[in-house]
A and B are shown apart, each in its own frame.
Chain A
Amino acid sequence: MNEDQETTLDTLKPGEKASIRKVRVKGTARRKLMDMGMVAGTEIELVRNAPLGDPMDYNIKGYHLSIRKEEAKQIFITKL
């Protein structure tokens, strides 16, 4: 496994874009994330962190989706 394989969504900095590779979240959250557009190949951009650092505000498919770092850590990406 090279370094790139290990990159997760929470490492993104505001303004950076990435492409989603795999959603490893478990349970109902997984389903929900996919329904909200978190599928492989989708472009995602971190807009900003909440004032207290967590959760994060992402731009995906043209809308704002907010999730916590905890879930973002289980979403694997390729930085663009």
Chain B
Amino acid sequence: MEAGKIKIALTGNPNVGKTTLFNALTGSRQHVGNWPGVTVEKKSGSVSYKEYDIEVIDLPGTYSLTAYSMDEIVARDFIIEEKPDIVIQVVDASNLERNLYLTTQLMELGSKILIVLNMCDIAEERGDRIYIDKMQELLATPVIRTVASQKEGICDLLDKVIEQKEVQQHHGHEIGYGTEIEDRILEIEKVLAEDETRDTRYPLRWISIRLLEGDSNVREKISKSPVYDRVIQIIDSIDQEEYEAEIADKRYLAINTVFPQMCTRANGKLTKSDMIDRVLTNKYLGIPIFLALMWGAFELTFAFATPFMDMIDLSATWFAEYVSSSLQPAWLASLVGDGIIGGVGAVLVFVPNIFILFFLLSLLEGSGYLARAAFIMDKLMYKIGMHGKSFIPMLMGFGCNVPAIMAARSIEDEKDRLITILVVPFVSCGARLPIYVLFAGTFFGRQAGTVIFGMYVLGIIIAIISAKLLRATVVKGKPAPFIMELPPYRVPTLKTSLIHMWDNGFMYIKKAGTIILVGVVVIWVLASFPWGVQYGSEDSYVGSLGHAVAPLLKPLGFDWKISVALIFGLVAKEIVVASMGVLYGAGESSDVLSDRLIADSGMTALTSLSLMAFSLLYMPCVATVGVIRKETGSWKWAVFAIFYGIIVAWITAFVIYQGGVLLGY
């Protein structure tokens, strides 16, 4: 036999360290977190070990192989249809009983199983004892002990994989479900076997059990079979809920009969994780600590980032000047200098914020605290028609809406997820801050801080109202039940956090290099043509565009210049400030711009307030729209987000401006 390829699939409960093991095996850098459900799609990598090429596929974590979420269907279809040589179930040693539930289901699938006992360190800290030899014997499956985060036991595992590949063992273990159910299973199996055209990859017993459990995905799979009607007849004759419970019962019963022989669980020893939980979810201290930690995270994101932002700012300015002065002809110098470097530079300035934000989020996630944040905030979120898990994406939104919307992936329920995605853009991201700083600073002097804070609050209020509104109209129904595992706290690994930071931060840089680059070139063209006009003046295309839109925005107190700035801001909100600079001929200096804004009779404190509110709410930036389209899978919701945003912004700004005028400001 050719010493060649082995295909292995990693499966297991969420949060048991599959991805860590995957990284340890393949050296790949997949995102790992201590938050159930991080791996959304399957990922593959490979490793060469002794003459073998081993392909490793990391499947999404699942608690069982039923079909209530996409993840589970992905995992089980892969195992059945792709027939990997060996299915490796990663098992959390500190949580053996529930993990074995999945094992019982994998055994029914009839594939070669190998169990990896991971996180033994946590189990041992707690005082649990696991008898691996006994476990192998009882489960009739090889069991390997690893600590994936320390790369312990990886070679043992690979040796075992190769050894198992050669063994022609097939799994004999099956769970008996009691006479009544077994009779039904036999009955269905018999009917199904009559179908000559059936897909033989699926074990008959497995299909029968699934059908009895009311698995809609399996039902659909056999819907073309000529015996379908007869099968359904059998299924309809039973009390499905009763069967469902009975089958789950029997599985746990089977586990319970073998479990005490392979593991003794320490009782009541106070672990570090219990200690931390006792305080962090304390009735009185839980919320203050949560707020303090969030404040700390934002303090770091903004204060610690400042010198790095200044460095980028200085280099961009220097580079733009250098290019402008050394390039010929003039239009090219203007395009590269004013347009590309100025525009992209304005966005790259935020890279340090984004990097730090992701690093901190990864620490929170890896430590297990994010799950507690959802736990602590669920009641509040539920009240506004959202899910506890929506809280984290909303929080990330303060940094940047793009990753925030991606973070909504961890929400299983489609409706909950959709609402979160649509509401996140109202959370005031870092890019909107420069707008507030400029206008509040110019027109509100000592009250600037309060005004800026007010903008953040306004964003949150609009988000809450929108969530309620969406729940009442487009996305009807109640938030999905909150059923979540609170994983034990762990010390997050620096490497994982750095990888997470780099991957997500790099995405932001890529955005600056693509969407925003295109955006700034378009703006430059519109502002410079017809050729010969003053850059960004009334006679340029952009000037005409501003004049065309201005009547619509007049009731909000905006003139053509603001209209132009707002149009530019569609690309990325930070561009609003940059284009005001251009339109007022103030260049890079914000002091000059402030003076000119005050001198302009069209700009008052009231207009600036209206403008800040409008910038906060009107359509999400291009990158956000793009990610909404990608994450919801359709343009429908992206377009909805655009129009909804514009309408909300217009109404809010109208109320502020006209209300202010009425009150005599």
Contact = CB atoms under 8 A, between A and B. Distances in A.
Given A35-B248, A39-B252, A42-B252, A63 B485 contact: yes
Interface residue SS majority, chain A:
mixed
Contacts of B245: 22-23, 34, 39-40
Contact of B244 (A30, A40, A71): A30
A42 B249 CA distance: 10
Contact of B252 (A30, A37, A53): A37
Size range of the chain B interface in the assembly: 35 or more
A64 B481 contact: no
Interface in B580-632: none
A36 to B, nearest CB: 6
A61 B98 contact: yes
Contacts of A39: 245, 248-249, 252
Given A39-B245, A55-B388, A62-B94, A29 B481 contact: yes
B282 interface: yes
Contact of A62 (B95, B244, B248, B376): B95
Contacts of A35: 63-64, 66, 101, 248
Contact of B375 (A31, A36, A50): A50
A32 B63 contact: yes
Contact of A55 (B252, B265, B379, B487): B379
A49 B376 CA distance: 9
Contacts of A31: 64, 66, 68, 213, 244
A68 B95 CA distance: 22
B55 interface: no
A28 interface: yes
B68 A36 contact: no
A25 interface: yes
Given A29-B480, A40-B249, A68-B482, 18 more contacts: A29-B483, A30-B244, A32-B68, A34-B244, A34-B245, A34-B248, A35-B248, A36-B63, A36-B483, A47-B277, A50-B286, A52-B287, A53-B379, A54-B379, A55-B378, A63-B98, A65-B484, A66-B375
Interface of A: 22-23, 25, 28-37, 39-42, 47-55, 57, 61-68, 70-71
14 contacts: A29-B480, A29-B483, A32-B63, A35-B66, A37-B252, A39-B245, A39-B249, A48-B278, A49-B283, A50-B375, A52-B287, A54-B378, A57-B486, A71-B482
